[in-house]
Amino acid sequence: MDAAHVHVSISDRCRDVHHDLEGRSVSTDLHDWDGVNDYHKDFAYRSDLVFLSAAALSDPAAAMRGILRHGRAHTVVCTRGADGCLVLTRDAGEVRAFPAAPLPGPVADSNGAGDAFVSGFLYGLLRGRPLEESVRLGAIAGAHACTVTGTHESPIGEALLLARAQASAG
Protein backbone atom coordinates (compact mmCIF):
# COMPACT_ATOMS: atom_id res chain seq x y z
CA MET A 1 0.00 0.00 0.00
CA ASP A 2 1.45 3.37 -1.03
CA ALA A 3 -0.90 5.65 0.89
CA ALA A 4 0.77 7.90 3.45
CA HIS A 5 -2.57 8.40 5.23
CA VAL A 6 -5.54 6.06 5.63
CA HIS A 7 -9.00 6.98 6.95
CA VAL A 8 -10.50 3.86 8.54
CA SER A 9 -14.26 3.33 8.66
CA ILE A 10 -15.66 2.04 11.94
CA SER A 11 -17.34 -0.90 10.24
CA ASP A 12 -16.53 -4.18 11.97
CA ARG A 13 -14.69 -5.61 8.96
CA CYS A 14 -12.13 -2.78 9.31
CA ARG A 15 -11.43 -3.48 12.98
CA ASP A 16 -8.23 -5.45 12.35
CA VAL A 17 -6.61 -3.40 9.55
CA HIS A 18 -4.50 -1.27 11.87
CA HIS A 19 -1.68 -3.82 12.10
CA ASP A 20 -1.33 -3.60 8.29
CA LEU A 21 -1.08 0.19 8.48
CA GLU A 22 2.05 0.47 10.62
CA GLY A 23 4.12 3.48 9.61
CA ARG A 24 1.18 5.31 8.09
CA SER A 25 -0.94 8.09 9.49
CA VAL A 26 -4.41 6.77 10.37
CA SER A 27 -7.63 8.65 11.07
CA THR A 28 -11.12 7.52 11.96
CA ASP A 29 -14.53 9.05 12.58
CA LEU A 30 -16.38 7.66 15.60
CA HIS A 31 -19.52 9.59 14.55
CA ASP A 32 -21.95 9.84 17.46
CA TRP A 33 -20.06 7.64 19.94
CA ASP A 34 -21.29 7.97 23.53
CA GLY A 35 -17.75 7.75 24.96
CA VAL A 36 -18.49 4.39 26.61
CA ASN A 37 -19.50 1.80 24.00
CA ASP A 38 -16.64 -0.69 23.64
CA TYR A 39 -17.32 -1.16 19.91
CA HIS A 40 -15.65 2.17 19.09
CA LYS A 41 -12.61 1.85 21.35
CA ASP A 42 -10.43 -0.20 18.98
CA PHE A 43 -10.81 2.50 16.36
CA ALA A 44 -10.42 5.38 18.83
CA TYR A 45 -7.27 4.00 20.45
CA ARG A 46 -5.50 2.79 17.30
CA SER A 47 -5.79 5.97 15.23
CA ASP A 48 -3.50 9.01 15.13
CA LEU A 49 -6.32 11.44 14.40
CA VAL A 50 -9.80 10.85 15.80
CA PHE A 51 -12.99 12.66 14.81
CA LEU A 52 -16.24 12.35 16.73
CA SER A 53 -19.47 14.23 17.29
CA ALA A 54 -20.59 15.75 20.57
CA ALA A 55 -24.18 14.62 19.86
CA ALA A 56 -24.15 11.65 22.27
CA LEU A 57 -21.44 12.81 24.69
CA SER A 58 -22.32 14.12 28.14
CA ASP A 59 -18.76 15.47 28.54
CA PRO A 60 -16.95 15.89 25.20
CA ALA A 61 -13.70 17.11 26.80
CA ALA A 62 -13.51 14.05 29.07
CA ALA A 63 -14.10 11.70 26.12
CA MET A 64 -11.40 13.48 24.13
CA ARG A 65 -8.93 13.24 27.01
CA GLY A 66 -9.74 9.55 27.38
CA ILE A 67 -8.89 8.93 23.74
CA LEU A 68 -5.51 10.62 24.19
CA ARG A 69 -4.84 8.83 27.48
CA HIS A 70 -5.65 5.32 26.24
CA GLY A 71 -4.63 5.51 22.61
CA ARG A 72 -2.01 6.70 20.19
CA ALA A 73 -3.89 9.74 18.87
CA HIS A 74 -2.03 13.02 18.62
CA THR A 75 -5.22 14.95 17.80
CA VAL A 76 -8.91 14.54 18.65
CA VAL A 77 -11.57 16.69 16.96
CA CYS A 78 -15.11 16.81 18.31
CA THR A 79 -17.69 18.46 16.04
CA ARG A 80 -20.60 20.33 17.59
CA GLY A 81 -22.70 21.41 14.60
CA ALA A 82 -23.57 25.10 14.69
CA ASP A 83 -21.40 25.48 17.80
CA GLY A 84 -18.24 24.65 15.84
CA CYS A 85 -15.76 22.09 17.11
CA LEU A 86 -13.40 21.26 19.93
CA VAL A 87 -9.80 20.22 19.31
CA LEU A 88 -7.43 18.53 21.73
CA THR A 89 -3.84 17.75 20.82
CA ARG A 90 -1.33 15.75 22.78
CA ASP A 91 1.12 18.67 22.59
CA ALA A 92 -1.22 21.42 23.79
CA GLY A 93 -3.10 19.49 26.46
CA GLU A 94 -5.97 22.02 26.49
CA VAL A 95 -9.26 21.69 24.66
CA ARG A 96 -9.61 24.52 22.17
CA ALA A 97 -12.95 25.70 20.80
CA PHE A 98 -13.30 26.81 17.18
CA PRO A 99 -16.38 28.47 15.66
CA ALA A 100 -18.51 27.04 12.89
CA ALA A 101 -18.19 28.69 9.49
CA PRO A 102 -21.02 30.97 8.37
CA LEU A 103 -23.53 29.19 6.19
CA PRO A 104 -23.27 30.25 2.53
CA GLY A 105 -27.05 29.92 2.16
CA PRO A 106 -30.15 28.62 3.89
CA VAL A 107 -30.05 25.22 5.60
CA ALA A 108 -31.35 22.50 3.31
CA ASP A 109 -30.10 19.32 5.01
CA SER A 110 -27.45 18.88 7.70
CA ASN A 111 -27.01 15.19 6.89
CA GLY A 112 -23.40 14.65 5.82
CA ALA A 113 -22.03 17.83 7.41
CA GLY A 114 -19.76 15.86 9.75
CA ASP A 115 -18.30 13.82 6.90
CA ALA A 116 -17.78 17.00 4.90
CA PHE A 117 -16.01 18.56 7.90
CA VAL A 118 -13.67 15.55 8.10
CA SER A 119 -12.93 15.79 4.37
CA GLY A 120 -12.12 19.50 4.54
CA PHE A 121 -9.99 19.05 7.65
CA LEU A 122 -8.02 16.18 6.10
CA TYR A 123 -7.60 18.18 2.90
CA GLY A 124 -5.78 20.87 4.86
CA LEU A 125 -3.84 18.58 7.16
CA LEU A 126 -2.55 16.34 4.38
CA ARG A 127 -1.34 19.38 2.48
CA GLY A 128 0.71 20.52 5.47
CA ARG A 129 -1.58 23.35 6.50
CA PRO A 130 -1.59 24.42 10.17
CA LEU A 131 -4.20 22.96 12.50
CA GLU A 132 -6.19 26.20 12.63
CA GLU A 133 -6.45 26.37 8.85
CA SER A 134 -7.39 22.69 8.63
CA VAL A 135 -10.19 23.32 11.14
CA ARG A 136 -11.39 26.30 9.07
CA LEU A 137 -11.39 24.22 5.87
CA GLY A 138 -13.38 21.52 7.67
CA ALA A 139 -15.85 24.08 8.96
CA ILE A 140 -16.31 25.59 5.49
CA ALA A 141 -16.93 22.16 3.96
CA GLY A 142 -19.38 21.26 6.74
CA ALA A 143 -21.27 24.54 6.33
CA HIS A 144 -21.52 23.95 2.59
CA ALA A 145 -22.97 20.48 3.19
CA CYS A 146 -25.77 22.01 5.27
CA THR A 147 -26.95 24.11 2.33
CA VAL A 148 -27.44 21.28 -0.17
CA THR A 149 -29.85 18.37 -0.11
CA GLY A 150 -28.51 14.86 0.22
CA THR A 151 -25.06 13.70 1.15
CA HIS A 152 -23.28 13.42 -2.18
CA GLU A 153 -25.25 15.31 -4.80
CA SER A 154 -23.33 18.58 -4.56
CA PRO A 155 -20.16 18.34 -2.48
CA ILE A 156 -17.90 21.34 -2.23
CA GLY A 157 -15.09 21.21 -4.77
CA GLU A 158 -11.50 22.20 -4.19
CA ALA A 159 -11.75 25.55 -6.00
CA LEU A 160 -14.83 26.66 -4.06
CA LEU A 161 -13.41 25.41 -0.74
CA LEU A 162 -10.21 27.39 -1.26
CA ALA A 163 -12.06 30.49 -2.50
CA ARG A 164 -14.30 30.49 0.57
CA ALA A 165 -11.29 29.94 2.83
CA GLN A 166 -9.47 32.86 1.27
CA ALA A 167 -12.55 35.09 1.58
CA SER A 168 -12.95 34.17 5.26
CA ALA A 169 -9.29 34.81 6.03
CA GLY A 170 -9.26 38.41 5.00
User: Distance between CA atoms of 8 and 122, rounded to whole angstroms?
Assistant: 13
Check: CB of residue 165 under 8 Å from CB of residue 127.
no
HEC secondary structure over the chain: CCCCEEEECCCHHHCCCHHHHCCCEEEEECCCCCCCCHHHHHHHHHCCEEEEECCCCCCHHHHHHHHHHHCCCCEEEEECHHHCEEEEECCCCCCEEECCCCCCCCCCCCCCHHHHHHHHHHHHHCCCCCHHHHHHHHHHHHHHHHCCCCCCCCCCCHHHHHHHHHHHHC
29, 42, 48, 115: the active-site residue: 115
115 is catalytic: yes
Which residues are marked as active site? 115
